[in-house]
Amino acid sequence: MKKKILIIDDDVDMCLLLSKFLTRNGYEVDTANAGNKGIAKFKENKFDIVITDFRLGDKDGKDILKEIKDIAPNTIVLIITGYSDIKVAVDVIKMGAFDYITKPLIPDEVLNVLNKALDQPITQQSTINSDGTIKKIAPSKSAVEQKLSSNSEFLVGEAGTTKELYKQIKIVAPTNYSIILYGESGTGKEVIAKTIHSLSDRADKPFVAMDCGTLSKELAGSELFGHVKGAFTGALSDKEGHFELANGGTLFLDEVANLSYEVQASLLRVIQERAFKRVGGNKEMPVDVRIIVASNENLQEAYRKGKFREDLYHRFNEFSINLPPLRDRKKDIPLFADFFLNKAKNELGREIDGFSNEVMQMFINYTWPGNLREFRNVVRRAVLLTQSGLVDSATLPWEITNNEPTSLSHTPPAFSHRYEDEFIQHQMPSSPVRTGFDLKDAASRAEYDAIMTVLKQVNFNKTKAAEILKIDRKTLYNKIKSFEELNKG
């Protein structure tokens, strides 16, 4: 039985062309040239799919989507948008639209989306020639699906938050929009930035990443824009900066909120003028980069507090994506476990069958404060300690096998391993206690408790914890290290 499609678009020629094309491909099609007419036809007849333009004279796509879903919740709705309506596309997908189709419409792309929506195999595809005739082409996956399937770092999960993340990436990647990625430490912000780059027209150009959290004000300018020989003490030769290295491609600025106000001003000028000068140089150098920034701090709140330039925030905030923490992606944990397992097996040359049921349940029950980065490291360590067969609980770190809050009376055993710096929260011992308790011990214990309380409150975001405690990150790291040494002593 033929599937019935209703096309709602005030462009009569587009309705006619799309109607003829879909009819030739086995669909039963009706059209309406206004929103109200489309709703009336939908009430009179049963349609499997509605394709509607978002911008109509009498209604917009949100109204049409809502009315259709109220009448028949299972109807598949596709929204036609332009690139200027990208944020609108995200909104309507959240409201229940299956997908979006961007203008100008290409019939084979419409057919791809329809077949995907109906879970049918892709049969015959076409495109429009310059003379308006329809040319048959070979079936294929969409460009986004092809690139994602070949991306060894990106995993499309099954959790609702993950699917929403994928849809947003798919929407914004082909554009040149600047993007802010928000998320806790370890949620994979750089992986997402690389994925967006790989799905863009800049994929064959450089992707350059820069960690702004580790730079001093003096070095930031040189790292971003480069310098000429003799620009400052130690500048023994000319040096290319990250903007120059990323020219034509994508520049990813991690922890961008840590840049000083002066560097932010220089960055704003480069974005506005699309040109820069190396530190100590006079030559203006043109540059074309797409900028993706990441922050675990809300930049809108930061500019309201005077810590971040408002004009720079608006330059960056053409589109923003929130990366969910792993604890909100429980459905994806088995998928990521296998994903990291296969990578570790290839890296170490191990023949391992998988995880025991006990281990998988521990993974699901654990809160993963270090998110995907922590998960990857835990799996790599388990594979290293497992010779063959199934990974068992004996290869897991203490904090996962004894998944319970840290207490003053419950001290973990000494660790025989160390995670990366990002996972210091797992290395932290219980409150340090010496046998010969004295005033110095009491002060140390109180300081430890204060630091741990703040770290837990900010999900172990060390930059934010240091700010609340009114110390710098280096001091925080040193104190954590001293607590570890004290616990061993």
Q: Between helices 261-273 and 217-225, what is the axis angle to 10°? A: 20
327-401 CATH:
1.10.8.60
Q: What average pLDDT does range 443-447 have in this prediction? A: 72
Q: Cα–Cα distances in Å, from 426 out to 31, 62, 233, 398, 400? A: 60, 46, 40, 9, 10
Strand order in the sheet with 99-102: 28-32, 4-8, 49-53, 76-81, 99-102
Residue ranges of alpha helices (H) inside 424-472 are 424-427, 439-457, 462-469
Q: State what percent of residues in the chain have pLDDT above 70.
A: 79
The pLDDT assigned to 440 comes to 60
| E strands present in 270-414 | 275-276, 285-286, 290-295, 319-322, 351-355, 388-391
Q: Which ranges in the chain are annotated with CATH 3.40.50.300?
A: 160-322
Specify whether the CB–CB gap between 191 and 340 falls below 8 A.
no
- With 0-12 / 13-18 / 19 or more C-beta atoms within 10 angstroms meaning exposed / middle / buried, residue 60 is middle
310-348: b (≥16 Cβ within 10 Å) or e: eebbebbbbbbbebbbbeebeebbbbbbebbbebbeeee
**DSSP three-state, residue 3:** coil
Q: Considering the entire predicted model, what is its pTM?
A: 0.57
Q: Which ranges in the chain are annotated with CATH 1.10.8.60?
A: 327-401
Dump pLDDT digits (tens) for 338-367: 989 988 998 888 888 899 989 999 999 999
**Closest Cα to residue 111, out of 142, 77, 65?**
142
**Closest Cα to residue 52, out of 44, 43, 42?**
42
Tokens 């521990």 correspond to 362
User: Which residues touch 396 (CB under 8 Å, ≥6 apart)?
Assistant: 359, 362, 378, 382
HEC-encoded secondary structure of 136-181: EECCCCCHHHHHHHCCCCCCCCCCHHHHHHHHHHHHHCCCCCCEEE
Angle at the Cα of 325 (from 483 to 342), degrees rounded to 5? 90
160-322 CATH:
3.40.50.300
Q: Cα–Cα distances in Å, from 24 out to 18, 116, 350? A: 10, 18, 53
Residue 61 CA to chain centroid, in angstroms?
27
What does the mean pLDDT of the chain come to? 79
DSSP 20-86: HHHHHTT-EEEEESSHHHHHHHHHHS--SEEEEESB-SS-BHHHHHHHHHHH-TT-EEEEEE-GGGH
Judging by DSSP bridges, how do beta strands 388-391 and 351-355 pair with one another? parallel
The pLDDT assigned to 36 comes to 92
Specify whether the CB–CB gap between 293 and 287 falls below 8 A.
no
Tokens of 86: 């990208």
The pLDDT assigned to 366 comes to 92
Dump pLDDT digits (tens) for 112-140: 788 878 764 333 333 334 443 333 333 33
Out of 14-23, 155-164, 259-268, 284-293, least confident range: 155-164
Specify whether the CB–CB gap between 168 and 321 falls below 8 A.
yes
Specify whether the CB–CB gap between 25 and 111 falls below 8 A.
yes
Q: What average pLDDT does range 240-259 have in this prediction? A: 91
CA distance 392 to 148: 32
Q: Which ranges in the chain are annotated with CATH 3.40.50.2300?
A: 4-140
The pLDDT assigned to 208 comes to 92
Q: Is the peptide bond before 107 cis (omega within 30 degrees of 0)?
A: no
CA distance 403 to 398: 8
4-140 CATH:
3.40.50.2300
Out of 153-167, 317-331, 407-421, 442-456, least confident range: 407-421
Dump pLDDT digits (tens) for 30-41: 999 999 999 999
4 pLDDT tier (thresholds 50, 70, 90) = very high
Specify whether the CB–CB gap between 371 and 188 falls below 8 A.
yes
Specify whether the CB–CB gap between 363 and 354 falls below 8 A.
no
**Closest Cα to residue 265, out of 209, 227, 221?**
221
CA distance 154 to 169: 11
